[in-house]
């Protein structure tokens, strides 16, 4: 009996150890893609294997996600791409959606000046001019090496021949079926004649395949002109929307200088306005650099207090100072100065400062939807791409363009429809983000690349609306301050504070009871227990081994070779 017990114990121990190590990320030597969908990640890796670079792969993944991950992947939305090339060049591509030229700052207010949220977040009145197609094509043409036909073929095949629905995707379709039922074109795609799809069904999208073929044959004009544009604009205008043929024709992505900063010797490269992500991330890191964090301090009330207080000041500044730089002079240099961060650091006390006592700084001259998606790419040449893209709410406004097969966005809700008041997700916005014709709406997307001694070390980003910034921040801190590998850094529970409302949201297991008690004693208020973000990250170590992790909060995939 004793011998049996020892053998049983040994087997259990062996199983436990092997199970532990099986959960660690496996490194690749040549290239890697991490995205919210394994099929899309595999598309990207096949592009890398053909000799394509990280930009080629990123563009292919973007189009594949429009097919395999329709809740957030898209042709009808927009996004941001951050690029670091092996030759040292760093750039970003802004393909955020824009307000139609027929829009105006009061378009979502009634006669008495009251905000009507359903106009900005549902129906065709919520649609911004889409930028994803233009942005991906621009990136491919300028920084890619493969042909558009080679890049689009995998997405076309997935749409035309279909793919087997996994449990989570089928459940997502079913969960949203009531919203889809309001639109015949959407039910034609996301249901089987009115019945829900089930796990194991093959999901075909012939109209989306047709649209992708239009792109393959005609390039940009296959989406922003011709039959695809006609289907899109006619459906919008027949139902009272604002987008015109001219809005589509004149849309252009913008290549912008990255937002850059440093943290404890690492170089931070992120997205600038009209995304607030890069500015807020680096501003937070600048403040927190004034502390020295011991490994044992992670998760303590002292550590969380410091994070939360810094978050309050940064989100207060976000509400006033960030918007589309083509319409509003964003004081980027002032916000990112180490001196300004030092001033904020000095204001942080050992007890919580109520948000009501924190206002946007006068010294320097709104919650978005969670249904965004991020993907990270690294190739054998040393190129890195970090991309975040969105149609705002899950499945955008739930309307499929009849005959074209892609979903419309509802990004107009990301503007400050009534400056000074929160949108339906809780974020406060100011004049910097008020609606203007042709303007890009503010975002929190924070696609980021971090360099160590001049070479890519971390490539990461996340969905999560207003929580994106704090989610990316905590993963960065986990790696740079606490020495965690990419898996542990992403897996660890997280917290969030965005100035208003004045409460700490937190994940399960993020706060032990004594930590909660201590935070309350310090004057903090606890908010919701909820999941925060879905980071898709890559870490390249000193031996040039490539480690990737898809967030366990989602259902993505890591692929490499």
SS (H, E, C) 213-246: HHHHHHCCHHHHCHHHHHHHHHHHHHCCCCCCHH
Indicate whether 328 pLDDT > 90: yes
Instruction: Look up residue 294 and give its two tokens.
Output: 């011991």
Where residue 1 falls among pLDDT bands split at 50, 70, 90?
very low
Q: What is the mean pLDDT of residues 70-88?
A: 98
* Lowest-pLDDT range of 158-162, 360-364, 477-481: 360-364
Name which of 417, 392, 441 is nearest 104 in CA terms: 417
CA angle 387-393-398, nearest 5°? 115
Structure tokens at 391: 């149609």
CA 151, distance to chain mean position in Å, is: 22
Instruction: Give the pLDDT confidence of 410-445 residue by residue, as tens digits.
Output: 999 999 887 766 654 455 667 889 999 999 999 999
Catalytic residue among 372, 373, 387, 448: 372
pLDDT of 418 reads 79
How far are the Cα atoms of 41, 53, 544 from residue 37, in angstroms, in the given order? Answer: 6, 20, 25
The pLDDT value given to residue 25: 67
Answer for the pair 425, 120: CB distance below 8 angstroms, yes or no. no
Contact predicate 170/198, CB 8 Å: yes
Summarised one tens digit per residue, pLDDT across range 3-32 is 434 443 333 333 333 334 346 668 999 999
Q: What b/e string do you get for 376-414 counting C-beta neighbours within 10 Å, with b at 16 or more? A: bbbbbbbbbbbbbbbbbbbbbbbbbbbbbbbbbbbbbbb
**Residue 119 vs residues 50, 123, 165, 423, 491: alpha-carbon distances, Å:** 46, 7, 33, 12, 37
Average pLDDT of span 32-42:
98
How far, in Å, CA of 169 to CA of 176, rounded?
11
Residue 369 pLDDT:
66
- Tokens 């709406």: give the residue: 441
Would you say 185 and 402 are in contact if contact means Cβ atoms under 8 Å apart?
Answer: yes
Q: What are phi and psi of 236, to 5 degrees?
A: -70, -50
Alpha-carbon gap, residue 352 to 55, rounded angstroms = 44
216 — pLDDT class (breaks 50, 70, 90): very high
Mean pLDDT of 326-343: 97
| Candidate CATH numbers 3.60.20.40, 3.40.190.100, 3.40.50.2300, 3.40.47.10; the one for domain 256-369+445-554 | 3.60.20.40
Residue 149 CB coordination number (10 Å): 11
Task: Give the span between the Cα atoms of 305 and 284, in whole angstroms.
Answer: 13
Q: What is the 3-state secondary structure (H, E, C) of 28-68?
A: ECCCEEEECCHHHHHHHHHHHHCCCCHHHHHHHHHHHHHHH
pLDDT value at residue 3: 41
d(CA 122, CA 187): 17
What pLDDT shows up at residue 23?
A: 62
Six token digits for residue 27? 């490194």
- Residue 282, classed as helix, strand or coil, is helix
Q: Which of 155, 229, 193, 220 is nearest to 403 (CA)?
A: 229
Tell me, yes or no, if 372 is annotated catalytic. Answer: yes
Handedness of CA 336, 338, 339, 343 (dihedral sign): positive
Burial of 150 (0-12, 13-18, 19+ CB in 10 A): middle
State in Å, rounded, how far the first CA of the chain is from the last one: 48
CATH 3.60.20.40 intervals, the chain: 256-369+445-554
Tokens of residue 58, six digits: 């990123």
Tell me: the pLDDT tens digits for 156-197? 999 999 999 999 999 999 999 999 999 999 999 999 999 999
Helix (H) or strand (E) holding 520: helix 513-521
User: Could you tell me the pLDDT band of residue 350, with boundaries at 50, 70 and 90?
Assistant: very high
526-529 β-sheet, strand order = 495-496, 504-506, 526-529
Query: Helix, strand, coil: what percent of the chain each, to 5?
Result: 40, 15, 40
Rounded to whole angstroms, the Cα distance separating 343 from 542 reads 36
**Which residue carries 């980071």 as its tokens?**
535
383 Cβ contact partners less than 8 Å away, ≥ 6 residues apart: 53, 54, 55, 83, 84, 85, 86
* Residue 371: predicted pLDDT: 77
Cβ-contact 114, 410 below 8 angstroms: no
DSSP state of 314: H
Phi-psi region of 558 (alpha: psi -120 to 50; beta: other; left: phi over 0): beta
Tokens (6 digits) for 368: 């978005």
Average pLDDT, the chain: 93
- Residue reference for tokens 């809005």: 247
Buried b / exposed e along 509-534 (16+ C-beta atoms within 10 A): ebbeeebbebbeebebeebeeebbbb
CA distance 240 to 124: 7
Q: What integer pLDDT is reported at residue 218 of this predicted model?
A: 98
């Amino acid at each position: 009996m004793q011998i049996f017990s020892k053998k049983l114990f040994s087997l259990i121990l062996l199983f436990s150890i092997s199970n532990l190590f099986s959960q660690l990320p496996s490194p690749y030597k040549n290239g890697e893609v991490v995205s919210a969908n394994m099929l899309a990640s595999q598309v990207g890796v096949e592009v890398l294997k053909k000799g394509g670079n990280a930009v080629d792969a990123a563009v292919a993944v973007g189009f594949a996600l429009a097919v395999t991950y329709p809740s957030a992947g898209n042709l009808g939305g927009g996004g941001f791409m951050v690029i670091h090339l092996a030759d040292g060049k760093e750039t970003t591509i802004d393909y955020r959606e824009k307000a139609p030229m027929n829009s105006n700052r009061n378009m979502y207010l009634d006669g008495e000046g009251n905000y009507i949220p359903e106009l900005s977040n549902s129906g065709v009145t919520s649609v911004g001019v889409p930028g994803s197609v233009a942005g991906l094509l621009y990136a491919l043409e300028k920084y890619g090496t493969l042909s558009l036909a080679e890049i689009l073929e995998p997405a076309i095949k997935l749409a035309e021949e279909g793919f087997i629905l996994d449990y989570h995707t089928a459940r997502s379709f079913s969960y949203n079926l009531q919203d889809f039922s309001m639109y015949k074109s959407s039910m034609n795609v996301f249901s089987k004649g009115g019945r829900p799809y089930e796990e194991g069904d093959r999901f075909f999208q012939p109209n989306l395949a047709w649209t992708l073929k239009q792109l393959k044959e005609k390039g940009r004009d296959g989406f922003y002109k011709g039959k695809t544009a006609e289907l899109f604009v006619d459906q919008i205008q027949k139902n009272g929307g604002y987008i015109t043929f001219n809005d589509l024709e004149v849309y252009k992505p913008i290549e912008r200088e990255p937002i850059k900063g440093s943290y404890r010797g690492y170089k931070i490269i992120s997205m600038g306005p009209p995304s607030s992500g890069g500015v807020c991330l680096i501003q937070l890191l600048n403040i927190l650099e004034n502390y020295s964090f011991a490994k044992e301090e992670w998760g303590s009330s002292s550590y969380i207090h410091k994070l939360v207080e810094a978050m309050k000041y940064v989100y207060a500044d976000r509400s006033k100072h960030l918007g589309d730089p083509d319409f509003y002079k964003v004081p980027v240099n002032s916000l990112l100065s180490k001196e300004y961060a030092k001033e904020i650091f000095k204001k942080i006390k050992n007890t919580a400062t109520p948000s009501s006592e924190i206002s946007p700084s006068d010294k320097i001259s709104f919650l978005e939807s969670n249904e965004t998606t991020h993907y990270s790419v690294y190739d054998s040449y040393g190129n890195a791409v970090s991309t975040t893209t969105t149609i705002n709410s899950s499945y955008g406004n739930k309307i499929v363009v009849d005959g074209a097969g892609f979903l419309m966005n509802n990004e107009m809700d990301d503007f400050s429809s009534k400056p000074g008041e929160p949108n339906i997700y809780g974020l406060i916005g100011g004049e910097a983000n008020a609606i203007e014709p042709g303007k890009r709406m503010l975002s929190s997307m924070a696609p980021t690349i971090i360099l160590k001694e001049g070479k890519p070390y971390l490539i990461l980003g996340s969905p999560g609306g207003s929580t994106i910034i704090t989610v990316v921040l905590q993963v960065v801190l986990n790696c740079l301050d606490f020495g965690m590998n990419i898996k542990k850094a992403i897996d660890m529970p997280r917290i969030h504070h965005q100035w208003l409302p004045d409460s700490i949201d937190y994940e399960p297991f993020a706060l032990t009871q004594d930590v909660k008690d201590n935070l309350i004693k310090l004057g903090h208020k606890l908010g919701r227990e909820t999941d925060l973000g879905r980071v898709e990250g890559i870490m390249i170590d000193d031996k040039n081994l490539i480690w990737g992790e898809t967030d366990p909060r989602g259902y993505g995939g890591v692929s490499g070779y």
